[in-house]
């Protein structure tokens, strides 16, 4: 076997060549690396970003709404939206035909949507889970799903007018609309490098756009009181078939709204099926002539000014004539109240007596107190579309207008104005601002806003307040409000029967708004309640058969619910004791 | 510890029977030490890079776990929201009242079935309260 020998020089040459080639290769690699990493770094970075980054829209959930005891009134659940990526759908016509019955949309409309020059189009938003599942099972290329959320009201119609509702993307009525900025969900765009499965890779270029957090609303409304109110309004609707019935309950010491409702109402999950007028909350948005409940304002003004003499008498003949205009008392049919004291006139709701009191006060003083109690301007309750009502100004207030205003005619006020005025009359004279939301709390950030009772002004003195309470108790004990009396509790208040106006502005003979405005227990009032029944069409047409019993039942159930101890000796007990 | 083997003398000419020998390569102890240090550094770098890669790999695994946990958290949150709404729906007073009336046949007590007592009387005659308020389940009238 021949020996093959290579000289050392050859080996050295070869080594040198290999070394040079290696160095050259390394140099070329380094140069290329430098070209990529330094010269074209930015360009490649952008390209890499486009390839690797995963763009995810993370939606924060819309804030929930709770009652004062943390019971859920409105929440949100995830639902799916069916969308199409037009470029990926092979046969628009065939796909539209296939999807039409499932999505309950016309095939032509679907085809139009899929023919749009967009990267993706919604075919049907927020579909039922069964619909999404049916579409998913069809496995059509180019048909995709997006997650969205849908508002859910677990109580159904309960407090629907206070809560409002949410359209496709935002609150459109009630508190959902008023507090949209706090409640609304927002989109957070999360950009990060991801692998083929979309899982985030640990690189340093994650980019976030921080979303605004959504907040929960904690209301002053109590779900149980709200339920009691609505149950009674339903009963009134069934028994008296009125055009409208409404109630408002407020804590007189803070202005916190405990319950507010009206009938007819609506279902917020199917709001489109109802008349938009039913979406609003009439105790805040409607104003009408208050009738006799407004007499308490005149009485408060006279008492505060020292012009009310309870023992002084007046002869009520059933009517008075002012500037040629005859103004009737509600007792006109039976010739009036006759000779009565002003104390009795309050219990008997005598119009001529209050006209006399108004005349004594004069227009400046009466207007001063009317405005002082907050009439003629919005109360500032946190609800959209609050009405300010309408009162006369000093120039408009002639003798006739002064007389009408004294017993609650010729002006228009809202139930919430009346309730807040009565609250001031019984809490020592302090007028508070009413509110529905007690707290705005972040889902992650904690409390953002905690409402404290907001005092607007003191209207009457504590002494006048105590006198007014006594007068109002007499109305329930021996006056026009006996139907509102409750066994075991001392109740006080004022009844009202307001004539309704027709379209031409004339009073209608047979159409009235019956109302009851009162509170209980007298010693330590827990709730001021207003109940109004508008346009009764069935059964007896009296407040004592409509609004007053509804008031009594709501107040009685609420006091029981609040576990308020009875503060009145039962009549039967007294009888037994006397025997 | 193993000691380095003593190498032959320097400048030794390799025989033709030993191809691949390294004529002229320095065999001085200082240079060998230098070479050993170089190799040591390279080995250390290699091991270090392995550690870095291992850590990086572990980071990736942890990140996948984190991603999965986040997804699970979202799913649990969603499920919690659905449960909260369902609980509120089941506990709604309308539903409870409807079940009480329609399924259980419950009715509101009539006025004749209620006895209102004063606070003072309650303290004095506590035991008699339950008797007077007892309701006969058969005909929903006060027991006699």
DSSP sequence for chain B: -PPPPPPPPTTPPPPTTSTT--TT----HHHHHHHHHHHHHHHHHHHHHHHHHHHHHHHHHHHHHHHHHHHHHHHHHHHHHHHHHHHHHHT-HHHHHHIIIIIS---PPPGGG-----HHHHHHTHHHHHHHH-EETTTTEE--
Q: What pLDDT band is residue A327 in, cutting at 50, 70 and 90?
A: confident
Q: Which residues of A touch B121 (CB under 8 A)?
A: 573
Mean pLDDT of A300-329: 88
Q: Which residues of A touch B75 (CB under 8 A)?
A: none
In CATH, what is the architecture of A223-266+281-438+452-578? 3-Layer(aba) Sandwich (3.40)
Q: Where are the domains of chain A?
A: 56-219, 223-266+281-438+452-578
Q: What gap in Å lies between CA B50 and CA A265, rounded to an integer?
A: 71
CB A131 within 8 A of CB A102: yes
- B131 Cβ neighbours under 8 A, 6+ residues apart: B143
**Among the ranges given (A26-30, A162-166, A205-209, A507-511), the one the predictor scored with the smallest mean pLDDT:** A205-209
Q: Distance from B2 to chain A by nearest Cα, in Å?
A: 32
Task: Provide the 10 A C-beta neighbour count for residue A453.
Answer: 14
Q: Do A6 and B19 touch (CB under 8 A)?
A: yes
Whole-number pLDDT of residue B125 = 44
Residue A575 has pLDDT above 50, yes or no: no
From the list A319, A299, A502, the residue with the least C-alpha distance to A408 is: A299
Whole-number pLDDT of residue A402 = 93
Q: Between vectors from CA A110 to CA A108 and to CA A114, what angle results, nearest 5°?
A: 115
Three-state helix/strand/coil letters over A111-162:
HHHHCCCCCCEEEEEEECHHHHHHHHHHCCCCEEEEEEEEEECCCCCCCHHH
Q: What pLDDT band is residue A108 in, cutting at 50, 70 and 90?
A: very high
Residue B67 has pLDDT above 50, yes or no: yes
A76 or B22: which leads in pLDDT: A76
pLDDT one-digit tens code per residue, A195-223: 666 555 655 555 566 666 789 999 999 99
Q: Do A158 and B60 touch (CB under 8 A)?
A: no
Task: Provide the 10 A C-beta neighbour count for residue B32.
Answer: 13
Q: What gap in Å lies between CA A398 and CA A406, rounded to an integer?
A: 12
Pair of tokens at residue A576 = 């037994």
Pair of tokens at residue A175 = 């508190």
Q: Shortest CB distance from A200 goes to which of B67, B84, B119?
A: B67
Dihedral, B34, B37, B41, B44 alpha carbons, nearest 10? 160
Active site residues of A: 292
From the list A335, A323, A366, A331, the residue with the least C-alpha distance to A349 is: A331
Residue A133 has pLDDT above 70, yes or no: yes
- A324 Cβ neighbours under 8 A, 6+ residues apart: none
Residue A55 has pLDDT above 70, yes or no: no
pLDDT one-digit tens code per residue, A276-302: 999 999 999 999 999 999 999 999 999
Q: What gap in Å lies between CA A336 and CA A314, rounded to an integer?
A: 11
Whole-number pLDDT of residue A188 = 65
Give me the phi and psi of A407, to 5 degrees please.
-115, 20
DSSP, res A2: -
DSSP, res A341: E
Q: Distance from B116 to chain A by nearest Cα, in Å?
A: 7
**Among the ranges given (A35-49, A150-164, A274-288, B117-131), the one the predictor scored with the smallest mean pLDDT:** B117-131
pLDDT one-digit tens code per residue, A446-473: 888 999 999 999 999 999 999 999 999 9
Residue B27 has pLDDT above 70, yes or no: no
Q: Which residues of B touch A76 (CB under 8 A)?
A: 81
Q: Which residues of A touch B133 (CB under 8 A)?
A: none
pLDDT one-digit tens code per residue, A1-35: 556 677 888 888 999 999 999 999 999 999 998 89
Nearest Cα residue in chain A from B58: A202
DSSP lists the bridge partners of residue A341 as: A313
Pairing of strands A437-442, A446-450: antiparallel
DSSP lists the bridge partners of residue A247 as: A261, A531
Residue A71 has pLDDT above 70, yes or no: yes
Q: Shortest CB distance from B92 goes to which of A77, A156, A565?
A: A156
pLDDT one-digit tens code per residue, B80-137: 888 999 999 999 998 999 999 999 999 888 777 777 666 555 444 444 333 333 333 3
**Could you tell me how far CA A432 lies from the centroid of its own chain?**
19
Mean pLDDT of A381-388: 96
In CATH, what is the architecture of A56-219? Alpha-Beta Complex (3.90)
Q: Distance from A160 to chain B by nearest Cα, in Å?
A: 14
Q: Shortest CB distance from B89 goes to which of A154, A199, A223?
A: A154
ipTM value: 0.71
CB A526 within 8 A of CB A559: yes
Q: What pLDDT band is residue A78 in, cutting at 50, 70 and 90?
A: confident
Whole-number pLDDT of residue A576 = 45
**Among the ranges given (A367-381, A495-509, B117-131), the one the predictor scored with the smallest mean pLDDT:** B117-131
Mean pLDDT of A346-367: 92
DSSP string, A369-402: HHHHTTTTS----SSTT----B---TTT--HHHH
Residue A104 has pLDDT above 50, yes or no: yes
A212 or A318: which leads in pLDDT: A318
Q: Which residues in B have their CB inside 8 Å of a CB on A?
A: 16, 19, 23, 56, 59-60, 63-64, 66-67, 78, 81-82, 84-89, 91-94, 97, 116-119, 121
Q: Which residues in A have their CB inside 8 Å of a CB on B?
A: 5-6, 8, 61, 64, 71-73, 75-78, 152, 154-156, 158, 199-202, 223-224, 227, 231, 487-488, 565-566, 569-570, 572-573
Whole-number pLDDT of residue A572 = 52
Q: Which residues of B touch A235 (CB under 8 A)?
A: none
Q: Mean of the per-residue pLDDT values for chain A?
A: 88
Of chain A, the percentage scoring pLDDT greater than 70 comes to: 91
Whole-number pLDDT of residue B31 = 86
DSSP lists the bridge partners of residue A319 as: A328
Q: Shortest CB distance from B93 goes to which of A61, A72, A223?
A: A223
Q: Do A573 and B117 touch (CB under 8 A)?
A: yes
Q: Shortest CB distance from B59 goes to which of A5, A71, A202?
A: A202
Of chain A, the percentage scoring pLDDT greater than 90 comes to: 60
Same fold, A56-219 and A223-266+281-438+452-578: no
Q: Which residues of A touch B19 (CB under 8 A)?
A: 5-6
Q: Which of A71-80, A215-224, B5-14 has the highest mean pLDDT?
A: A215-224
Interface with B, mutate which of A147, A157, A200, A208 (most B CBs under 10 A): A200
Mean pLDDT of A538-555: 92
DSSP string, A285-327: H--B--GGGGHHHHHHHHHHTT---TT-EEEE-SEEEETTEEE
Q: What gap in Å lies between CA A381 and CA A178, rounded to an integer?
A: 11
Whole-number pLDDT of residue A197 = 61
The answer to whether the Cα torsion of A97, A101, A103, A109 is positive or negative is positive
Beta-sheet strands, E only, within A373-504 = 430-433, 437-442, 446-450, 454-458, 492-501
Q: Do B81 and A200 touch (CB under 8 A)?
A: no
Task: Provide the 10 A C-beta neighbour count for residue B138.
Answer: 7
Pairing of strands A437-442, A215-219: antiparallel
B17 or A336: which leads in pLDDT: A336
Whole-number pLDDT of residue B25 = 52
What is the helix, strand, coil percentage profile of chain A, to 5?
40, 25, 35
Nearest Cα residue in chain A from B95: A155
**Among the ranges given (A151-165, A245-259, A317-331), the one the predictor scored with the smallest mean pLDDT:** A317-331
Task: Give the number of beta-carbon pairs within 8 Å between A and B.
Answer: 72
Residue A178 has pLDDT above 60, yes or no: yes
Burial of A47 (0-12, 13-18, 19+ CB in 10 A): exposed
- Residue A434 gets the label, from left (phi > 0), alpha (psi -120 to 50) or beta, of beta
Residue A121, CA distances (Å) to A96, A115, A495, B54 in order: 13, 9, 59, 44
């Amino acid at each position: 076997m021949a020996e093959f020998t290579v000289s050392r020089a050859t080996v050295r040459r070869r080594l040198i060549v290999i070394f040079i080639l290696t160095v050259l290769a390394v140099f070329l690699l380094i140069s290329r690396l430098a070209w990529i990493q330094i010269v074209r770094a930015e360009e490649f970075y952008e390209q890499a970003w486009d390839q690797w980054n995963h763009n995810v829209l993370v939606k924060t959930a819309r804030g929930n709404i709770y009652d004062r005891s943390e019971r859920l009134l409105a929440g949100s659940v995830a639902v799916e939206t069916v969308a199409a990526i037009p470029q990926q759908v092979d046969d628009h016509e065939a796909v539209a035909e296939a999807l039409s019955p499932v999505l309950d949309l016309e095939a032509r409309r679907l085809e139009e949507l899929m023919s749009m020059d967009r990267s993706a189009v919604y075919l049907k938003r927020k579909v039922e889970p069964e619909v999404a599942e049916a579409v998913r099972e069809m496995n059509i290329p180019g048909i995709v799903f997006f997650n969205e959320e849908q508002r859910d009201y677990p109580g159904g119609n309960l407090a629907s007018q206070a809560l409002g509702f949410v359209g496709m993307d935002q609150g459109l009525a009630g508190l959902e609309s008023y507090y949209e900025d706090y409640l609304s969900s927002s989109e957070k765009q999360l950009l990060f490098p991801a692998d083929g499965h979309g899982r985030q890779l640990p690189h340093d270029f994650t980019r976030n756009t921080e979303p605004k957090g959504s907040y929960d609303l904690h209301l002053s409304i109590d779900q149980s009181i709200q339920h009691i109110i609505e149950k009674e309004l339903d009963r009134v609707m069934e028994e008296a078939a009125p055009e409208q019935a409404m109630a408002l309950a407020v804590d007189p010491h803070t202005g916190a709204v405990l319950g507010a409702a009206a009938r007819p109402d609506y279902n917020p999950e199917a709001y489109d099926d109802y008349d938009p007028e039913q979406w609003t909350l009439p105790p805040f948005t409607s104003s009408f002539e208050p009738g006799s409940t407004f007499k308490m304002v005149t009485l408060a003004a006279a008492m505060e000014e020292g012009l009310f003499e309870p023992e002084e008498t007046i002869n009520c003949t059933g009517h008075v004539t002012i500037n040629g205009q005859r103004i009737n008392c509600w007792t006109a049919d039976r010739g009036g109240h006759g000779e009565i004291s002003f104390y009795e006139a309050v219990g008997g709701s005598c119009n001529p007596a209050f006209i006399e009191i108004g005349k004594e006060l004069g227009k400046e003083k009466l207007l001063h107190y009317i405005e002082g109690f907050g009439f003629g301007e919005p109360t500032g309750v946190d609800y959209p579309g609050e009405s300010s009502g309408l009162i006369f100004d000093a120039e408009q207030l002639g003798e006739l207008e002064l007389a009408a205003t004294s017993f609650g005619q010729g002006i228009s006020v809202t139930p919430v104005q009346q309730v807040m005025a009565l609250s001031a009359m019984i809490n020592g004279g302090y007028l508070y601002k009413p509110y529905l939301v007690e707290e705005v709390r972040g889902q992650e950030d904690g409390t953002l806003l905690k409402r404290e009772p907001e005092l607007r002004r003191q209207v009457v003195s504590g002494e006048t307040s105590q006198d007014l309470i006594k007068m109002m108790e007499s109305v329930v004990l021996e006056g026009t409000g006996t139907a509102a009396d409750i066994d075991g509790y001392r109740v006080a208040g004022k009844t009202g029967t307001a004539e309704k106006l027709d379209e031409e502005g004339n009073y209608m003979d047979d159409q009235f708004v019956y109302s009851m405005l009162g509170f209980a227990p007298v010693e330590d009032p827990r709730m001021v309640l207003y109940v109004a029944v508008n346009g009764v069409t069935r059964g007896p047409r009296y407040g004592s058969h409509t609004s007053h019993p509804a008031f009594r039942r709501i107040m009685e159930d609420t006091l029981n619910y609040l576990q308020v101890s009875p503060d009145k000796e039962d009549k039967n007990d007294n009888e037994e004791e006397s025997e | 510890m193993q000691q380095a083997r003593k190498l032959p003398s320097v400048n030794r000419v390799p025989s033709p029977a030993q191809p691949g020998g390294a004529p002229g390569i320095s065999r001085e102890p200082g240079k060998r030490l230098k070479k050993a240090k170089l190799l040591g550094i390279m080995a250390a770098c290699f091991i270090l890079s392995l550690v870095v890669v291992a850590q990086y790999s572990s980071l990736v695994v942890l990140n996948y776990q984190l991603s999965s946990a986040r997804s699970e958290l979202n799913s649990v949150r969603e499920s919690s929201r659905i449960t909260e709404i369902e609980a509120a729906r089941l506990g709604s007073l309308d539903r409870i009242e409807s079940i009480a009336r329609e399924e259980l046949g419950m009715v509101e007590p009539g006025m004749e079935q209620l006895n209102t007592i004063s606070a003072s009387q309650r303290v004095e005659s506590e035991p008699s309260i339950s008797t007077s308020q007892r309701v006969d389940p058969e005909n929903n009238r006060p027991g006699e």
